Amino acid sequence: MSTRTIVVTGGGTGIGRAVAAGFAAAGDTVVVTGRRRERLDDAVAELGPKASAVDFDAADPAAVTEALDRLPATVDVLVNAAGGNTGLDHPAPEPGDLGAEAAAWRANFDANVLTAVLVTTALLPRMPSGGRIITIGSIAARRGGGDYGAAKAAVEAWTASLAAGIGPRGLTVNVVSPGLTVGTEFFRGRLSDARRDRLVNETMTKREGTTQDVAAAVQYLAAPAAGHVTGQVLHVNGGAYLGR
């Protein structure tokens, strides 16, 4: 298989970094993006000479537009890994504080939906037939999770509509939806042992997921042989939620 050009948003840490490492190990040219330049530089140093970084805020339309001149002219695979539960960075809104409630919902929508929509829309003209788009979702889209779960559910709905629109061009778009996954910044170091045990016990495998588990699912959907798989949600959660 010839070398492909891969763009991974949120590629400096966690799942995005593991995804980028998988493509780099396969010999692909990898571009990681994110807001924190130092994390991106660390990732590039680890990924090797065929990796590079472009820093910008994927939720900001102007920043995405400005970054286009620094992004590859041809993109074979786009992985939207930017996101996370922004609610973990701020205290919960006080009851009745509608302004704070609206801000919380908008923050998660921006971080998880707009990042994917804006970067995908910007790069679609650069994707040839056979291109692949994979967005990282969450088990929260099916099991709750308030504003974060609602944002990830919106990603699934957008993916379904996008798949219909770009399918005739020979492009596919899918969601990889993890459950509990270690090796990320998701819980900000605040995952209690009791909650970890409860989440592990909900799985059939009786273990935590890893970033490598998620990256392997992305590799499958990005492969040329997966050309008839589109508009789908691939659950990687050890059976904690059955996608059927």
Mean pLDDT by 10 residues, the chain (244 residues): 90 96 97 96 96 98 98 98 88 91 96 98 98 98 94 98 98 97 81 91 96 98 97 98 89
Catalytic residue status for 220: no
Handedness of CA 32, 59, 158, 136 (dihedral sign): positive
- Tokens representing 202? 């909900």
3-state secondary structure 176-215: EEECCEECCCCCCCCCCHHHHHHHHHCCCCCCCEEHHHHH
Q: What is the pLDDT of residues 122-145, one digit of tens each?
A: 999 999 999 999 999 999 999 988
Instruction: Give the torsion sign (CA, 50, 54, 55, 57).
Output: negative
| Residues, the chain | 244
Pick the catalytic residue from 148, 173, 217, 222. Answer: 148
Bin 41: left if φ > 0, else alpha if -120 < ψ < 50, else beta: alpha
Q: First-to-last CA distance in the chain? A: 33
C-beta of residue 183 within 8 angstroms of C-beta of residue 209: no
Structural domains of the chain in order of their starting residue, each with its CATH number: 5-236 (3.40.50.720)
In what side-by-side order are the strands of the sheet with 29-34?
Answer: 51-55, 29-34, 5-9, 77-80, 132-136, 172-178, 233-236
Radius of gyration for the chain, computed over Cα atoms and rounded to the nearest angstrom: 17
In this predicted structure, what is the pLDDT of residue 1? 53
- Over residues 154-169, the pLDDT tens digits come to 999 999 999 999 999 9
pTM for the whole structure: 0.95
pLDDT for the residue numbered 149? 97
Nearest to residue 7, comparing CAs of 18, 23, 15?
Answer: 23
What is d(CA 188, CA 91) in angstroms, rounded to the nearest whole number?
A: 13
